[in-house]
Amino acid sequence: MVFCDEQPKAGHGLGIVSMPEMLRYSCVLAIHTLWLAARLRGIGVGWVSILEPGVIRALLDVPADWSLIALLCFGYPQDPSQTPELERRGWQAREPVTNRVFDR
């Protein structure tokens, strides 16, 4: 589980006074970096998004000013593949990179 402390003591509020969402962005960037490091080592990562944050917070008894960012699953794939599982199961086909990257 990854939680974001919405009222950190460090930094004295610098940077989050005008843009408080930066705390959550920083957590997501840390997850991204962790994900890349895991994949480099052949470790699969899954981000579970079908859950109720309030239930999870109560179950784990986390402080009230922490927000749930992610529930991550890590492990070595049973059957390694270059094709994402969403695509293999027919849930969503991969889009061409040209649909997402523009050179202008």
The whole-angstrom separation of Cα 1 and Cα 72 is: 6
The whole-angstrom separation of Cα 61 and Cα 59 is: 6
The answer to whether residue 60 sits within a structural domain is yes
The residue segments making up the domain with residue 46 are 2-76
Tell me what the pLDDT averaged over the chain comes to: 89
Q: Tell me which residue has tokens 């991204």.
A: 32
Please check whether residue 45 is in contact with residue 38, taking contact to mean a CB–CB distance below 8 angstroms. Answer: yes
Question: CA-CA distances (angstroms) from residue 100 to 30, 47, 69, 74, 103?
Answer: 23, 21, 25, 27, 10
Q: What CATH code is carried by the domain that includes residue 64?
A: 3.40.109.10
pLDDT, tens digit (0-9, with 9 covering 90-100), for 30-79: 999 999 999 999 999 999 988 999 899 899 999 988 999 999 999 998 88
Domains contained in the chain, number: 1
The whole-angstrom separation of Cα 67 and Cα 28 is: 12
pTM summary value: 0.78
Within 10 A of 86 (CB to CB), how many other CB atoms are there? 11
pLDDT of residue 12 exceeding 70, the answer is no
Question: What pLDDT, on the 0 to 100 scale, is given for residue 49?
Answer: 87
